[in-house]
Chains A and B, each alone.
Chain A
Amino acid sequence: MTEYNQAYMVSNPLAPCEVVEINPDNCTGCRLCIEVCRTDVLVPHPEAREVPIVLFPDECWFCGDCVAYCPEPDTIKMHVPITEKVGWKDKESGERFRLGMKNPPPPYTVPPIGWKNIKEK
């Protein structure tokens, strides 16, 4: 039997989306994200230094504190669910864009005013 024919009896996915995703290649297992989460969405992995487990994604408030406090760059990504994705248009050309669209325009790289990495604070 090919692998994709193996189906499983599992509960429905909880929460509007995956909420946060942790890159296991960059995560050092410091667990700071677990400590700053306001609703314990993340819990420690039974193995020390392993990537935290997203146990209660349905309780995520999308506050982004786990992203703010993660000491490793590009390690925690907060996903915006489709229900929250917005649109905008170019004033000159009238071209419309959508957060999540295929082939998006290049990033706008100007940081917010007073932007400081938490490590500098």
Chain B
Amino acid sequence: MSIFEAPLNEHTPPWPYKVDYDKVNELTADVLIIGGGTAGCHAAISARKKGADVLVIDKANVLTSGSGGSGVDHWHNACTNPVSGITPEDQVDTFQECRKGIATSEYGSRASHYITAMESWEALQDVEEWGIDIRDVNDDFVGADFRDEETKLMFAYDYDSKTVVRVQGAYIKKAMHDEMDRLGVKIKNRIMITSMLTEGGKIGGRVIGAAGFHLRTGEFYVIKAKATIVCTGTTTRLWVFSTELVGANSIHDDPNGVGDGNAIAYNAGAEFGQMEAGGRTVGGFRYFGYGTGNAHNTWFACTILDANGKEVPWVDRDGNEIKDVAGRYKTAPGQKMFYHGPPPHPYETQGPTLTHDLAERIESGEFVLPFYADLPGMPELERKAIFGLMVGNEGKTRHGVYEPYTNAGYDPNKHMMQANVLPPEEAGVHKPWWNGQGPPQWRETAFGGGGGLAYDWDCRSSLEGLYVAGNQMLGGGNHSQSASTGRYAGRRSADYALGVDHVDVKKSQLNDERERVYAPVKRKAGIGWKEFQAGLCRVMQDYCSTYKAEETLKIGLEWLESIKESEGQEVFARNPHELARIMEAFSRLTVGQMIMEASRARKASSKACDFERIDFPEVDPPEWDKYVIIKRGVNGEVEISDKPYDYWLKEPYASNYRENYDSHNGLDENTTRPKLEAAE
């Protein structure tokens, strides 16, 4: 008797929901949105405002789903707010100037970044209309350096350029959910989409809907849609999988982030860019996100003391010491804006940081570990902004950090939070400061700059009827990027959908899909989903680590295919929940194949992609200053091509961002915010 059989006996409680794997439900919509996180909700609302009949499908509950489902505390890229010190052009130009060559997710890809710079503030005002406080409405921060007295907006990081807004968004998903209800957006929760439906069932054909199953009842769903938007989360746990490594970003992002949208769009024949890019994981050395003492991100720019109470100096981008706390939030003379984060950040956007030579000074004994975040030593309003506002509202930290810490007596006015004890060479470096760093075999694409669906100025993929917003875009990014591109893609998909008819779904495509999806529930024994999932990770670790080469990538691809056709045909599920975990592993397997194929195609190493080819060691040679594009051809074969990094500014488009934005954005009287100010 195996452990898999042991629990199944007369004492095993039956599944709590009524299951019917044979039942087929049919739904229709003008616009189908796959994934109801930040991007999906904004997309749904803007498509609905255009008059489209909108359906949102989510694996969880739209009320709380997505990486931002548990709240947001600061909102990037609000370049058009009334007191912003920079224009959208400034922001995009600055980022591009310092990233000649490869775009990384940090900056977004170029068109999506411009769309975000143009609409982030608009989206934030939408959020305010829906009931979220984006200003200091209770005057908790009067007189703070980061507060604009007239608008009561509060900014984070760079108090000169004023583009990152501190918000009280713990319940932002509920506000969006209520607004969708009010507008009549249809929502179906707990459904996993497993495939796109295409015209004639052909790879590369127009996307005419999607199919999937319910995670509780197992029932099959067929959705006919005139337009479909991929708004699913990024791929997590592709290299590292263990349910003993806990969540809350200490090891991985939202567990529902699997890359389902990318996997099914790839299978339908859509083009993807930069799939070879990625980065090291946090290696499980992290604690709950933003839950340890540090000086970056949410905790920027906290004073740091060593074990003996000696203060670690803050320096400007040239290494000159900054004497006062206020100076840590200022741009350098002549600098338009900075992005918080230490070297090797590009000089153009390099902001103040802890001293650049911290590692050496720890090793020399000058500073003694562990370090502490000296919130008590910070000015009162800065302390209240970091812990009271940001940690109190950031996704996950309200209940994972604020509540348990304060219940256990942590008092930010008196107590210094300890930083992770890390090797000297990692201490003081932005990500590892609170992350640690995994081995070369442990990678991720979530925050590591992974690729995604190639898109045009309509946020449309290479397939007719298929649009994309948020993290599954080429160069997808943060909350504001998801909100802004969701808003934009919602409009463009609705414009398209309202001008076309539904297309009948090919029966054989549905029958094949049902046979594939339900195979694991028809098996009585075999291997469990965790072994299957961990097995994929092992292949990724061995054959697609930081160090890559043609021969090992080729073997890795063979192994993934072998696992798919061998063990993949032995996995079994005892309920719809396990079935979903199996289908997610299949999504990850597909994403793994995409990454390995794209990695084979880039025959050069690349710094920004964190991509090292042992057999092509030259780093970023000029001829490889382009996106590797992959897709499946009509017969399922892999097709490789490339696109320039600024393809959004080449034929058939105009050569500047503003012109393209103005001619494509789809704003009309129902989706443009009335300009109430016009004070003169």
Query: Do B411 and A65 touch (CB < 8 A)?
Result: no
Q: With A62-B247, A99-B408 known to touch, is A90 a contact of B414 (CB < 8 Å)?
A: yes
Q: Hey, what's the 0/1 contact readout for A6-43 against B, CB within 8 Å counting as 1?
A: 00000100111100000000000000000111111001
- Contact A35:B63 (CB < 8 A) given known A40-B215, A64-B70: yes
Partner of B61, one of A38, A67, A84: A38
Complexed CA–CA distance, A118 and B17 (Å): 27
A residues 58-77 in Cβ contact with B at 8 Å: 58-65, 67-69
Residue among B255, B291, B407 making CB contact with A86, cutoff 8 Å: B291
Q: Which residues of B contact A45 (CB under 8 A)?
A: 16
Q: Nearest 4 A-B pairs (CB), nearest first? A: A112-B392, A64-B399, A114-B168, A105-B409
CB-based contact B246/A110 at 8 Å: no
Residues of A within 8 A of B392 (CB): 111-115
Inter-chain contact count A-B, CB under 8 Å? 195
Q: Does B117 contact A (CB under 8 A)?
A: no
Q: Give the distance in Å from the alpha carbon of A64 to the alpha carbon of B396 in the complex.
A: 6
Q: How far is the CB of B406 from chain A (nearest CB, A)?
A: 4
- With contact pairs A64-B396, A84-B246, A112-B398 given, residues A107 and B64 touching in the complex (Cβ less than 8 Å): no
- State the Cβ distance, A46 to closest chain B Cβ, in Å: 6
Please give the number of chain A residues whose Cβ is less than 8 angstroms from any Cβ of chain B in the complex.
Answer: 59
Q: Name B's interface SS.
A: loop
A121 to B133, CA, bound (A): 12
Closest B residue to A9 by beta carbon equals B6
Considering only CB atoms, which chain B residue lies closest to A57 in the complex? B243
A 94-121 to B, binary, CB cutoff 8 A, 1 in contact else 0: 0001011100111111111111101001
A–B pairs, 26, beta carbons within 8 Å: A11-B7, A15-B244, A39-B255, A40-B215, A53-B16, A60-B247, A61-B247, A62-B396, A63-B70, A63-B247, A65-B69, A78-B399, A86-B405, A91-B376, A91-B377, A99-B404, A99-B410, A100-B408, A104-B409, A106-B409, A107-B407, A108-B409, A109-B406, A113-B388, A114-B138, A121-B171
- Known pairs A106-B409, A113-B140 / 13 extra A-B pairs, C-beta < 8 Å: A37-B60, A38-B60, A40-B216, A64-B396, A65-B70, A69-B63, A86-B417, A89-B415, A97-B410, A105-B408, A110-B406, A111-B392, A113-B393
CB-defined interface of B193-222 with A at 8 Å, one 1/0 digit per residue? 000000000000000000000011000000
CB-based contact A91/B393 at 8 Å: no
Does any Cβ of A come within 8 Å of B431's Cβ?
A: no
Interface on B for A, CB 8 Å cutoff? 3, 6-7, 13-14, 16-17, 60-61, 63-65, 69-70, 131, 133, 138, 140, 168, 170-171, 174-175, 190, 215-216, 243-248, 250, 254-256, 287-288, 291-293, 372, 374, 376-377, 384-385, 388-389, 391-393, 395-396, 398-400, 402-412, 414-418, 577
Task: From A58, A61, A100, name the one whose CB has the most chain B CB atoms within 10 angstroms.
Answer: A61
Q: Tell me which residues across on chain A come within 8 A of B140, comparing CB atoms.
A: 113
Contacts of B395 in A (CB 8 A): 63
Is there contact, CB below 8 Å, between A39 and B256?
A: yes
In whole Å, how far is B621's beta carbon from the nearest beta carbon of chain A?
Answer: 41
Partner of B391, one of A108, A110, A112: A112
Query: Cβ of A107: which chain B residues have Cβ within 8 Å of it?
Result: 406-409
> Shortest CB–CB separation between residue A48 and chain B, in angstroms?
11
Contact of A84 among B288, B374, B391, B399 (CB under 8 A): B288
Whether B417 and A88, one on each chain, are in contact in the complex, defined by CB atoms closer than 8 angstroms, is yes
Q: Given the complex of chains A and B, what is the CA–CA distance between A109 and B244 in angstroms?
A: 32
Q: Which residues of A contact B (CB under 8 A)?
A: 11, 14-17, 35-40, 43-46, 53, 56, 58-65, 67-69, 78, 80-81, 83-84, 86-92, 97, 99-101, 104-116, 118, 121
Partner of A88, one of B244, B391, B418: B418
* CB-nearest residue of chain A to B397: A64
Cα(A91)–Cα(B398), bound, Å: 24
Residues of chain A with a CB closer than 8 A to B292's CB: 86
Q: How far is the CA of A64 from the CA of B408 in the complex (A)?
A: 17
A109 / chain B contacts, CB cutoff of 8 Å: 406
Specify the chain B residue showing the minimal Cβ separation from A79. B404
Which residues of chain B are within 8 angstroms of A101 by Cβ–Cβ distance?
408
Q: Chain A contacts of B65 at CB under 8 A?
A: 38
Alpha-carbon distance A89/B3, docked complex (angstroms): 46
In the complex formed, the residue of B with least CB distance to A16 is B246
**In the bound complex, CA of A44 to CA of B61 (Å):** 16
- Structural contact, B388 and A112, CB atoms closer than 8 A: yes
Instruction: Decide yes or no: A61 and B248 within 8 Å by CB, A91-B374, A112-B391, A114-B170 being known contacts.
Output: yes
Say whether, besides A65-B69, A88-B410, A91-B415, A113 and B389 are in contact (CB < 8 Å). Answer: yes
| Least distance between A64 CB and chain B CB atoms (Å) | 2
What is the minimal beta-carbon distance from A6 to any residue of chain B, in angstroms? 17
Can you name the residue of chain A whose Cβ is closest to the Cβ of B133?
A114
- Closest A-chain residue to B14, C-beta based? A46
Residue of A nearest to B395 (CB): A63
